[in-house]
């Protein structure tokens, strides 16, 4: 059985994904998690602390996924492209709740400086992993190429998660092929 803290964070992610920032209150998190009233506030005294806890949880999840899909093994363009495709598929499939919660937080960060700062820490860390992975492939200008990859991934993920639920999955974009081209010289 997971801890009260973990249950609170899972419920907060679900609420963010289904109702955006307005849905994120301590009382709603407790109710969503099936916890006694006040349980979430024992771990996260303020709403800001709860938001930062959710962001940290997303960062840990991103890092764990990156380790599982790419970092443990010999660097290669093929493995890298497959890892990026797996990440996109995860973010738009099994991990769509986390993705929608992440987008709710991104939007909140446009007018809440403390949320923007907390998000930036995770983005910088993820970008650092990507730059290191791209550099490990021997590709020139790894920082610029990693930035372009992030923009591409963000676009594909947003496109996929914004389709109506009844729509068939849009797999018309060949992620591996596009990433391979983005890594190619010239």
Residue 39's CATH number = 1.10.10
Same domain, 25 and 114: no
pLDDT tens for 57-99 read 998 887 777 666 666 678 889 989 998 998 898 898 889 999 9
Contact 59, 125 (CB under 8 A): yes
- Kindly state whether residues 58 and 114 are assigned to the same domain: yes
CA distance linking residue 126 with residue 16, whole number of Å: 21
pLDDT digit string (tens) for 122-140? 888 888 888 998 999 999 9
Same domain, 96 and 12: no
Residues 99 and 168 in one domain: yes
Cα angle 105, 158, 162 (rounded to 5 degrees) comes to 100
CATH code of residue 71? 1.10.357.10
- What per-residue confidence (pLDDT) applies to 63? 76
Same domain, 40 and 52: no
**Rg, the chain, Cα only:** 18
Counted domains in the chain: 2
Q: Determine if residue 141 is left, alpha or beta; phi over 0 gives left, psi from -120 to 50 gives alpha, anything else beta.
A: left
- Taken as a whole, the chain contains a residue count of 186
pLDDT digits (tens, 9 = 90+) for 7-57: 999 999 999 999 999 999 999 999 999 999 999 999 999 999 999 999 999
51 and 63 both lie in a single domain: yes
Q: What is the pLDDT of residue 173?
A: 85
DSSP 22: G
pLDDT at 59: 86
SS3 46: coil
- Split at pLDDT 50, 70, 90, the class of 169 is low
**Cβ proximity of 119 and 48 under 8 Å:** no
User: Is the same domain home to 77 and 162?
Assistant: yes
Q: What is the pLDDT of residue 100?
A: 95
Residues 118 and 146 in one domain: yes
Task: For 97-127, write each residue's pLDDT tens digit.
Answer: 999 999 999 999 999 999 999 899 888 888 8
Q: Are 71 and 16 part of one and the same domain?
A: no
- The confidence score (pLDDT) of residue 185 equals 67
Residues 122 and 36 in one domain: no
pTM: 0.87
Please state, in angstroms and rounded to a whole number, the distance separating the CA atoms of residues 72 and 138: 18
> Does 105 lie in the same domain as 83?
yes
Residue 170 banded pLDDT, cuts 50, 70, 90: low
Structural domain boundaries enclosing 32: 1-45
- Compute φ and ψ for 184, nearest 5 degrees: -65, 145
126: Cβ contacts below 8 Å, ≥ 6 apart: 59, 62, 63, 66
Burial of 181 (0-12, 13-18, 19+ CB in 10 A): exposed
Q: What is the pLDDT of residue 177?
A: 94
21 vs 2, more confident? 21
The verdict on 33 and 15 lying in the same domain is yes
């Amino acid at each position: 059985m997971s801890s009260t803290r973990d249950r609170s964070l899972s419920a907060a992610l679900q609420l963010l994904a289904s109702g955006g920032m307005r849905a994120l209150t301590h009382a709603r998190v407790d109710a969503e998690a099936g916890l006694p009233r006040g349980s979430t506030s024992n771990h996260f005294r303020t709403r800001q602390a709860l938001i930062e806890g959710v962001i940290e949880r997303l960062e840990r999840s991103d890092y764990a996924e990156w380790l599982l899909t790419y970092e443990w093994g010999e660097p290669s363009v093929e493995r890298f492209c497959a890892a990026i495709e797996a990440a996109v598929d995860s973010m738009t499939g099994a991990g769509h709740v986390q993705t929608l919660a992440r987008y709710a937080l991104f939007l909140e960060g446009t007018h809440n400086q403390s949320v923007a700062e907390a998000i930036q820490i995770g983005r910088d860390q993820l970008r650092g992993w990507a730059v290191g992975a791209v550099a490990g492939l021997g590709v020139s200008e790894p920082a610029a190429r990693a930035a372009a990859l992030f923009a591409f991934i963000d676009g594909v993920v947003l496109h996929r998660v914004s389709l109506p639920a009844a729509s068939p999955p849009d797999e018309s974009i060949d992620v591996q092929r596009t990433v391979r081209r983005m890594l190619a010289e010239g």
